[in-house]
Structure 1
Amino acid sequence: MTATPQTTGRLLKRAQYRNHRAADRALAAIGTTLVQWDALRAIDEFPSASAHALAVTTFQSDQSFGALAGRLIAQGLVERSPGHGRRVEHRLTDAGKKMLAEGQAVTAEVTARSFHALSQAELETLHALLDRVGEAPD
């Protein structure tokens, strides 16, 4: 296969799809999904962020993130409280922190398997290249 932006984009999408499917399967064993775990990760990383900022961070629409947050609240993993101004803040419950930690171990293992064929130098090169993808030309 000749390397073109299109074929490279498809390979990137395929790698992401495979990694996400493997993570979803592994996370199901602990009672969550990749989307739910990623929301827990974002809420933990940005505790005072607005729902909109959390939606952007997790690659979701505001409406989708709102529905997801509602499900996480119903599961006892997240709590909402009034924030500054009209902002509603999200924070993890103890159960949410436990699920996040378990999910971090699971996703770390899955990701390590996904990239096992790359040497450290290759991984660093890939990281640097992907960091440049999508940058606007000067």
Structure 2
Amino acid sequence: MYSELQTLGRAVKQAQYRQHRALESGLTAIGTTLAQWDALRAISNATGASARELAAATFQSEQAFGTLTSRLVAQGLVERRPGRGRRIEHHLTPDGERILSEGHLVATGVLTSCFSPLSAAERTTLLALLQRLTLGEEA
């Protein structure tokens, strides 16, 4: 029999799985994947960031992020530019900006649906609780 903590952990995972499945489906319709859109979002939020910084922001290894970025470069969504020293910076192309923008619309619809059973106050409380659990992890 599950303990209360195991049940809680499973419920969080279930909600995340449902959200990811819906996002993946919606993003596929616009020609991208959740991992690709998340990388585009990270690059947009930190233009010129290194692969190491972007890998951390997207919860990936540097190697996995490098492979993903190579696919995005091949698709014309991202370009790599020389930075200071040996640093390679990442920037969105106009097509990357377009896919990112379309992805934001998809995400808004999916997340609105996923969190619709909660009131605005409950969503605020949930966010505060989750932020408290992850405090200091994204340093």
Report the counterpart of residue 35 of structure 2 in structure 1.
35
Specify the code of the residue in structure 2 equivalent to 1:17.
Answer: Y
* Cα separation, partners in 2 of 1:86 and 1:78, compared to 1, 3 Å: same
Cα shift at 1:5: 2.2
Cα shift at 1:4: 2.2
Specify the code of the residue in structure 1 equivalent to 2:47.
Answer: P
Specify the code of the residue in structure 1 equivalent to 2:29.
Answer: A
Report the counterpart of residue 76 of structure 2 in structure 1.
76
Partner-residue secondary structure (3-state), 2:30: coil
- Unmatched runs of 5 consecutive residues or more in structure 1: none
Report the counterpart of residue 7 of structure 2 in structure 1.
7
Cα shift at 1:134: 4.5
Report the counterpart of residue 107 of structure 1 in structure 2.
107
**Same amino acid, percent of matched pairs:** 56
- Unmatched runs of 5 consecutive residues or more in structure 2: none
Q: In 1, distance between residues paired with 2:135 and 2:81? A: 37
| Equivalent residue runs for 1:1-138 within 5 Å | 4-135=4-135
Q: In 1, distance between residues paired with 2:60 and 2:76? A: 21
Q: In 2, distance between residues paired with 1:107 and 1:113? A: 10
Q: In 2, distance between residues paired with 1:3 and 1:117? A: 25
Q: In 2, distance between residues paired with 1:110 and 1:67? A: 27
Question: Could you report, residue by residue, the CA deviation over 1:11-38 in whole angstroms, capped at 9, with x for unpaired residues?
Answer: 1011001000000001110000010000
Q: In 2, distance between residues paired with 1:36 and 1:135? A: 26
Specify the code of the residue in structure 2 equivalent to 1:25.
Answer: S
Cα shift at 1:85: 1.6
Partner-residue secondary structure (3-state), 1:133: helix
